[in-house]
Every structure is written in structure tokens, then in C-alpha cells.
Amino acid sequence: MGTPFPRSKKRELTLRQLSNLGFHGCDCSLAVCLFDYGFAWRAFEGQWEMLIRRPGGNFELLTWDMSRTIEREFGWMPAEDWRRFCSAMGSSQEEILSREVPDTLQNLSRYYGYENCFGTSTGLLYYITDDL
């Protein structure tokens, strides 16, 4: 089942806590995922929980129901934009859509910008420290 994400008033987390919760990303180092790429995720109770770095260096927790698809949610992208995005990623659309949703979201947000993909911050930000 797993452990729920800590939602206390104290919004300070460590890499060790996040690692124990199962967060990972596009690199084998959680520190690189968060501090260099600004993105890490885990699967929990039918949702993707994603930590995304916001301006100022703090992180926001966003959730994405696993029943939602990239094709449906990003259906507004014209075919030419998909071709450009796939070319920039060096992969076919089929390859990109076969990856874990958070991996594709990370790449889409890099291409279009975090604000364009996820909107403005909810204000619930977390400070993460490297204790590994």
C-alpha cells in the first residue's frame, strides 16, 4: 500500500524521507532529479504524486489520476507541435506515450514551461534538504 505523503504544517522534507516514500525520477539519483531537473514522482493509491520545483527553489506536490492520459489531457496540441516535441526529445510519439506519465509530463513541461502545463502554484510549497 505505501505511506501517505506527509501533509503537516511543517513543510520541510529530506531526500531520505522522499526516498523512503518511493519518489524517483529520470535519473538514478533523487538529488539530481529534484535539484537539477526539478521533478520527481511516485505512484500512490491510483495517482501519480509529483514534486515539481517552482520559482524560488521550493517544491509543489501535484497529483495526476492514473486514469488520465497524456493524449486526452494534451489533446489541444496540434499535430505539428507533437512532431516538434518528439523531434526535440529524439523519440517517436509512440515511444514517448509508452513511458510513465510523469516522465512525459516532465518533458512536456520543459518544452512548454511548467506554468503552461501545470498552471500557477497553489501556494503549498515544500522545502527539501539533501541529507543523503
In a domain, 69, yes or no: yes
Any domain includes 94: yes
What value does the mean pLDDT take over residues 49-73? 89
* Structural domain harbouring 26: 12-129
Domain count, the chain: 1
Measured CA to CA, the distance from residue 21 to residue 92 in angstroms comes to: 32
pLDDT for residue 6 is more than 90: no
In a domain, 43, yes or no: yes
Residue holding cell 531520505?
A: 16
120 against 104, higher pLDDT: 104
In a domain, 20, yes or no: yes
Q: Is residue 62 part of a domain?
A: yes
Residues 32, 111, 17: CA angle, nearest 5 degrees: 30
Instruction: With respect to residue 36, please indicate whether it lies within any of the assigned structural domains.
Output: yes
- The answer to whether residue 3 is domain-embedded is no
Question: What average pLDDT does this structure show over 54-59?
Answer: 85
123 Ramachandran zone, left/alpha/beta (phi>0; psi -120 to 50): left
C-alpha cell at 45: 493509491
Tell me which of 96 and 3 has the higher pLDDT. Answer: 96
- Which residue has cell 516532465? 106
